Structure formats: structure tokens, C-alpha cells
Amino acid sequence: MIWVLAPVFNEASGIKNFIETSSAFLQNIADYRLILVDDGSSDQTAAIARDAVNVNDVVLRLDKNTGPGKAFETGMHYFLKHASQDDLLLTLEGDGTADLSSLPEMIKQIENADLVLASVYLEGGGFSKTSALRLMISHAANTLSRRWLGMPYKTLTSFYRLWSYPALNQLNKKFNPLIEAKGFICQVELLYKSHLIKHKILEVPTKVYSDRRKGPSKMKLLKTALSHVSFLLKSRKYKTEIMK
């Protein structure tokens, strides 16, 4: 079974379409369940989501907006508690910008891996209708993080990933908390931890369709840039943790 985890924040205008589109695609691929974590939305995101999901899906709601890090950790703990050893966890942004046509190849690749990354910077991947400023910031963040942390992967910041249960469970047992970062840098943190404990990590190409997003992006560029710098400066402590 594939469990699909997406953090959502003030996505009232697009959450129903995200659920319907994702479900329509996934039902032709495998058995699935959705885990939506509402990160303290001030609109009707949670209510609309609960009305739109299937009976086996779950909508979790956090009391206040703290960023995707807490939302991902909440959803991952739910997955680890309720899923089985053979299940997979697909993580996505809840705005519908991911290209789900990459998923079948990701499922194929994870048969021989712990984690599969959907990569816009791998040959065959890319962006559709994304502003030049965001492209520049994305490229700079990935390049800086890759060089500083010594990781070979092309895309470090994307939410779009497929985890095996054993790999995520191993991370959860090794690191407390599983995710420390509150903002979008949380995905670099998780990937770095996975890299440090020598998980087998593969990549497949994908595209991001920014024109599918309803409303503005939730990522604050300056805040995200500063959080990247802050994380990189203190990243060495994770090497110490794995030696314990």
C-alpha cells in the first residue's frame, strides 16, 4: 500500500481538486491512503478536505501554523504507527504542482532502494511556468546545500519523495526529533540524515507545474533562504548523533 502524506496550509481553493486528482491517479497504480496534515489553516481547508477524502483517509489538524516540518513529522509518525513493513510513504506538496506520472518509475526504483527522490534537476526533469526569481533561488539552495553537505543528489529540497517503511522507521529511531527544522528546509534535513546513515537513495526525473497552484506559494523566499543558511551552519551535529 502507498500512503500519501501532504502538509496543507490555507489551501481551501485547491484542496478538493488536489484530493480528487491525486486519488484518480493513485487508484490506477496501487492501494492507497491519504494523510493530509492541516498546518493550522485560518480558512476552511480542513473542513473541505474532510468532506472530500475517502473513508479510509485521514485529515490531521495542528492547532497553529508552525511550518511544514511539524506537519511532516506528525504525518510520518502516523504512518509509522499505522502502516506495515511493506508499505510505502509518498510525500507531496498539497498544491497539486507535482507530476504524478513520475510515480510508477519511483515505485519501480524503490524495490532496490530506501528512498527515491523526484528530481527536477535530473536530465528529463524541469519546471513549467515558474518565475525566474524562484528558479534562481531553487538552483542556489540546491547547489549550496549539495556542496556544503557533501551529498551527490541533484535535487535536495523537493517534497516529492517515496520512502520505504524500514528506512523511515530507522531514521525515527536514530534521531529525536525526527525533524527539527520547522520550515521548508526540513526536507534537506531529512535527506541529510538519511544520507548519513547510508540509506540507498535514487533519483528519477520529474517536473513541477507551478501553473496548477491555486493562490500564491506558501514559501517565503527570504525566510526560507535564511533557514537554509542556519541549517547548514549547524548541520555537523547530526554526524555526532549517528555516532552515539
Q: How confident is the model at residue 194 (pLDDT cuts 50, 70, 90)?
A: very high
pLDDT in tens, 47-81: 999 999 999 999 999 999 999 999 999 999 999 99
Q: How far is CA 104 from the centre of its chain?
A: 17
pLDDT > 70: percent of the chain: 91
Torsion of CA 38, 39, 44, 48, to 10 degrees: -10
| The Cα angle at residue 91 between residues 192 and 24, in degrees rounded to 5 | 160
Average pLDDT over the chain, rounded to an integer: 90
Cα–chain center distance at 100: 13
pTM above 0.75, yes or no: yes
Inter-residue contact 153 to 61 (CB < 8 Å): no
Mean pLDDT of 172-180: 94
pLDDT of the residue at 244: 61
| 194, 114 Cβ separation under 8 angstroms | yes
Q: What is the mean pLDDT of residues 171-189?
A: 93
The answer on pLDDT for 221 being more than 60 is no
Residue 9 has pLDDT above 80, yes or no: yes
Classify 118 in phi/psi space as left (phi over 0), alpha (psi -120 to 50) or beta.
Answer: beta
What pLDDT does 189 receive?
A: 94
- Of 59, 33, 58, which Cα lies nearest the Cα of 46? 59
The structural domains of the chain, ordered by start, are 2-242 (3.90.550.10)
3-state secondary structure of 162: strand
Q: Which residue has the cell 509509522?
A: 80
By the 8 A CB rule, do 198 and 144 touch?
no
The pLDDT of residue 77: 98
What is the DSSP secondary-structure string of 184-241? TTHHHHHHHHHHHTT--EEEEE-EEEGGG--SS-S--HHHHHHHHHHHHHHTTHHHHH
> CB-hemisphere CA count at 13 Å for 210?
14
Cell, residue 121: 534537476
H-helix segments, the chain: 15-26, 45-52, 68-82, 103-109, 132-149, 165-174, 186-196, 221-234, 237-242
Neighbours of 77 (CB within 10 A): 16
